[in-house]
Amino acid sequence: MSGLRFRVVEKAFQAKAREVTVPLERPSEYFGKYVFNREKMFKYLPSTVYAKLVDAMDNGAALDRSIADAVADGMKRWAMSLGVTHYTHWFQPLTEGTAEKHDAFVEHDGKGGMMEEFSGKLLVQQEPDASSFPNGGIRNTFEARGYSAWDPSSPVFVVDDTLCIPTVFIAYTGESLDYKAPLLKALSAVNKAAVDVCHYFDPSVKKVFSYLGWEQEYFLVDEGLYAARPDLLLTGRTLMGHEASKNQQLEDHYFGAIPTRVAAFMKDLEIQALELGIPVKTRHNEVAPNQFELAPIYEECNLAVDHNMLIMSLMRKVARTHGFRVLLHEKPFKGVNGSGKHNNWSLGTDTGALLMAPGKTPEENLRFITFIVNTLMAVYRHNGLLKASIMSATNAHRLGANEAPPAIISSFLGTQLSRVLDHLEESTDEQLVSLEGKHGMKLDIPQIPELLIDNTDRNRTSPFAFTGNRFEFRAVGSEANCASAMIALNAAVAEQLTCFKHDVDALMANGVSKESALIQVIRKYIKICKPIRFDGNGYSEEWKEEAAKRGLDCETSCPLIFDNYLTPDSIAMFESTGVMTKVELEARNEVKWETYTKKIQIEARVLGDLAMNHIVPVAIEYQSRLLDNVYKMKGLFAEEEAKRLSEENIAIIKEISERTAYIKEHVDAMVNARKVANKIEGERAKAIAYHDTIAPMLEQIRYHIDKLELIVDDKMWTLPKYRELLFIR
């Protein structure tokens, strides 16, 4: 078997970069080639239909059934011009991925033949037999039907021979069964609440967009090596493997340049992403060896989420054609930095204002402060929920592990913005607002230099950092659907802005001037949300103590963190914003707990198998060889001499015996613990058992396996080692 390891290592070592065919046109010309965007709509749709569709897209209206046939027909003709034969509703169920069911365009033509057919009905709605998608009990067997419906704010696109229609996925009883439906509701809620608040400053604002610019981190591994690691294949991470030496990591890190094989992959991926209308812009090496990052230009949140889902599947596909496998798991390698997904988030108006960016005038800056402070309030009030929104069995390995944000949500503002908030907090109304002759009201809001955008100090340890014109939510997992975090954040901000308007209006109704009212409420909020502001080192132990004193959520157990979705505050927030009902929240939590359990369950099984089939037999085989040597020594040398010469081997023999005994015993214990846990009623309790008893066993067993890796003859070891997985190009 170990022969296989050497063969795959050698093959990986010799692999050459694949040639990539670069389109002759410039990127701006092939950008969106496979997207039914406005340009193509205009070309393929009658002008009245085009106008109605654009209206539905811009104003978030449902597609008017009367034009659905014409839209479908235009889409079909465009798609067929690209050789497309099938269509699918493309949706985002509560698993971390997308789902699709492909149907051919063909229908009977009534004359014994076939014709290409794609009606408005099929575009607008489909009924995937979806009883196998997680739904947390919303759809019990007698009404196990859901439907998917096109969301016109997400453009239709073509992948290979299939027209993909982004849809929401909803139960017949109305509950959402996916990420997109609540996301659209959250975006609509934040739009409404933010427009109302914008009217204090500019009555002409009609729409507020939520923007998202994600940065996607990932690892690449040679496909041969990947195939020789059943743990990577089955769980997405290595369940064992001793760290390679630190020197190697540093050396590799300092090499800096993107290896040619990887560069070819990236180039290919970028071309295909651009063709799908994903505005990819940045690529670079990440901190860990074989780790990279990809980021597009930010987009409207719903589209950005679709694009992130799309790029993750595109990455998987393109990686294969380059002899790689892409690892999106948050922590594929122990002791090596994990992968996250920074969600750069901001709000902006249809009049072109970025609400999280400082402006040029005192009024613009008051608006800026308004949105910053309300965001901080939302994050403060719902810090536990926001943590729950990014938590998963896989992301749990990364958070709080001295490399990623801790499992406590706090916000970093940088010195300048902190100073401005402190100033506002301490000053009196009279100081801030004074009536000044013919210029009318004068606001003494401190000038906030626009330079702030470029020179905000960076605090890499903060999970929610202000970075000049946006907040960067850094705790999101690399594998996650960004929507989960964006639903919670946008909904919380929507709720908060509504409260703000309520408070300001109440003061104004009592005769307080608008500016004074705004400032009074802001000042009050600055005081309330102070505990969420933290500019220090988020990795430190002191911060954990301090955060607990401040009343921030410090829970670290993943199943318990999910409880945050069901607190009275969270339910009230989601219900008042119309984003999710209590029933939906409860159902979703069932899915979260169940998924958590399944992940640990699979890891436990795989680790058990590998330990018993790969590790223990190899260790014992090596031990036998050592034993053989010890006996031979005895035959050759005098007793004392033989003993002395065999001392080291005997120590290793003992160590192997002890470690293999431990492993066998604990693999058995883990099987029994699973049996006990599996009998527990209720997904929550079961997940807690898996977290508390089984997950720690994985680590304990691994510890001994990793020690064995260090002492067993390298030639006999069957599984590719970290240094091979991580350093071969």
**CA distances (Å), 576 to each of 113, 379, 581, in order?**
54, 17, 9
Q: Say if residues 220 and 262 touch (Cβ distance below 8 Å).
A: yes
Minimum distance, C-beta of residue 391 to ligand ADP, in the bound complex (Å): 22
The 423-462 contact track toward ligand ADP, x by CB under 6 A, reads ----------------------------------------
Nearer to Mg ion, 307 or 342 (CB): 342
Residues 6+ positions from 695 with CB-CB distance below 8 Å: 600
Strand-pair partners of 159: 162
Identify residues 316-355 at the interface with Mg ion (CB under 5 A).
Answer: 342
Minimum distance, C-beta of residue 344 to ligand ADP, in the bound complex (Å): 3
Nearer to ligand ADP, 76 or 307 (CB): 307
Degrees to nearest 5, angle at CA 503 with 582 and 548:
60
Nearer to Mg ion, 70 or 482 (CB): 482
Identify residues 236-265 at the interface with ligand ADP (CB under 6 A).
Answer: none
Nearer to ligand ADP, 470 or 592 (CB): 470
- The token duo for 87 is 């269509």
Minimum distance, C-beta of residue 414 to ligand ADP, in the bound complex (Å): 14
In 82-174, which ranges are continuous DSSP H helix? Answer: 120-124
Say which entry of ligand ADP, Mg ion, none residue 354 contacts (CB below 5 to 8 A, set by partner kind).
ligand ADP
**Contact call for residue 470 and ligand ADP (CB under 6 A):** yes
In angstroms, rounded to a whole number, what is the distance separating the alpha carbons of residues 481 and 564? 19
Binder among 128, 146, 213, 538 for ligand ADP (CB under 6 A): 213
Q: Say if residues 524 and 222 touch (Cβ distance below 8 Å).
A: no
Q: Say if residues 688 and 555 touch (Cβ distance below 8 Å).
A: no
**Contact call for residue 270 and ligand ADP (CB under 6 A):** no
Strand-pair partners of 88: 102, 164
Degrees to nearest 5, angle at CA 119 with 114 and 122:
110
Minimum distance, C-beta of residue 358 to ligand ADP, in the bound complex (Å): 12
Query: How is residue 554 annotated by DSSP?
Result: -
CB atoms within 10 A of CB 684: 21
Binder among 175, 215, 252, 706 for ligand ADP (CB under 6 A): 215
Minimum distance, C-beta of residue 27 to ligand ADP, in the bound complex (Å): 16
Say which entry of Mg ion, ligand ADP, none residue 282 contacts (CB below 5 to 8 A, set by partner kind).
ligand ADP
Count of alpha carbons within 13 Å of 608, Cβ hemisphere only?
19
The 299-338 contact track toward ligand ADP, x by CB under 6 A, reads ----------------------------------------
What single letter denotes the amino acid at residue 635? G
Concatenated DSSP letters of 665-698: HHHHHHHHHHHHHHT-SSHHHHHHHIIIIIHHHH
Say which entry of Mg ion, ligand ADP, none residue 349 contacts (CB below 5 to 8 A, set by partner kind).
none
- Of 200-208, 296-304, 326-334, 503-511, the segment contacting ligand ADP by CB under 6 A is 296-304
**Contact call for residue 94 and ligand ADP (CB under 6 A):** no
**CA distances (Å), 206 to each of 203, 351, 353, 482, in order?**
8, 8, 12, 26
Give the number of residues in contact with ligand ADP, rule: CB under 6 A: 14
**Contact call for residue 353 and ligand ADP (CB under 6 A):** no
What is the C-alpha end-to-end distance of the chain, expressed in Å?
Answer: 23
**Contact call for residue 282 and ligand ADP (CB under 6 A):** yes
Q: Say if residues 370 and 362 touch (Cβ distance below 8 Å).
A: no
**Contact call for residue 307 and Mg ion (CB under 5 A):** no
**Contact call for residue 469 and ligand ADP (CB under 6 A):** yes
Minimum distance, C-beta of residue 295 to ligand ADP, in the bound complex (Å): 4
- Of 35-43, 211-219, 389-397, 713-721, the segment contacting ligand ADP by CB under 6 A is 211-219
Return phi, psi of residue 10, to 5°. Answer: -65, -40
- Of 17-25, 46-54, 80-88, 294-302, the segment contacting ligand ADP by CB under 6 A is 294-302
- The token duo for 684 is 């929550």
Minimum distance, C-beta of residue 475 to Mg ion, in the bound complex (Å): 12
**Contact call for residue 292 and ligand ADP (CB under 6 A):** no
Say which entry of Mg ion, ligand ADP, none residue 295 contacts (CB below 5 to 8 A, set by partner kind).
ligand ADP
**What angle do the packed helices 514-528 and 482-509 form, to 10 degrees?**
130
**CA distances (Å), 379 to each of 529, 632, 681, in order?**
9, 70, 34
- Of 50-58, 172-180, 295-303, 512-520, the segment contacting ligand ADP by CB under 6 A is 295-303
Residue in the structure block whose two tokens are 């198998």: 609
Nearer to Mg ion, 76 or 342 (CB): 342
Say which entry of ligand ADP, Mg ion, none residue 297 contacts (CB below 5 to 8 A, set by partner kind).
ligand ADP
Nearer to ligand ADP, 216 or 623 (CB): 216
- Of 339-347, 362-370, 543-551, 562-570, the segment contacting ligand ADP by CB under 6 A is 339-347
Q: Which residue is nearest to Mg ion (CB)?
A: 342
Residues 6+ positions from 320 with CB-CB distance below 8 Å: 223
Binder among 118, 211, 226, 722 for ligand ADP (CB under 6 A): 211
CA pseudo-torsion sign 482, 487, 493, 497:
positive
Minimum distance, C-beta of residue 346 to ligand ADP, in the bound complex (Å): 3
Minimum distance, C-beta of residue 334 to Mg ion, in the bound complex (Å): 25
Say which entry of ligand ADP, Mg ion, none residue 298 contacts (CB below 5 to 8 A, set by partner kind).
ligand ADP
Show contacts of 261-265: CB within 8 Å, 24+ apart: 261/15, 261/16, 261/17, 261/18, 261/322, 261/323, 261/324, 261/729, 262/220, 262/292, 262/324, 262/729, 263/17, 264/17, 264/18, 264/19, 264/20, 264/322, 265/18, 265/220, 265/318, 265/319, 265/322, 265/324
Q: Which residue is nearest to ligand ADP (CB)?
A: 213
Residue in the structure block whose two tokens are 């901080």: 376
Gyration radius from the chain CA atoms: 29
Return phi, psi of residue 258, to 5°. Answer: -75, 125
Query: How is residue 176 annotated by DSSP?
Result: B
Identify residues 130-149 at the interface with Mg ion (CB under 5 A).
Answer: none
- Of 99-107, 209-217, 230-238, 559-567, the segment contacting ligand ADP by CB under 6 A is 209-217
Concatenated DSSP letters of 427-495: S-HHHHEEEEGGGEEEE-PPP--TTHHHHPPP-TT-SEEE-SSSEEE---BTTS-HHHHHHHHHHHHHH
- Of 344-352, 548-556, 589-597, 715-723, the segment contacting ligand ADP by CB under 6 A is 344-352
Binder among 150, 209, 298, 473 for ligand ADP (CB under 6 A): 298
Nearer to ligand ADP, 75 or 378 (CB): 378
Nearer to ligand ADP, 56 or 355 (CB): 355
Nearer to ligand ADP, 135 or 469 (CB): 469
Say which entry of ligand ADP, Mg ion, none residue 469 contacts (CB below 5 to 8 A, set by partner kind).
ligand ADP
Say which entry of Mg ion, ligand ADP, none residue 470 contacts (CB below 5 to 8 A, set by partner kind).
ligand ADP
Binder among 45, 239, 295, 396 for ligand ADP (CB under 6 A): 295
442 CB burial (10 A radius; 0-12, 13-18, 19+): middle
**Contact call for residue 354 and ligand ADP (CB under 6 A):** yes
**Contact call for residue 296 and ligand ADP (CB under 6 A):** yes
Minimum distance, C-beta of residue 474 to ligand ADP, in the bound complex (Å): 9
Tell me which residues touch Mg ion (CB under 5 A).
342
Tell me which residues touch ligand ADP (CB under 6 A).
211, 213, 215, 282, 295-298, 344-346, 354, 469-470
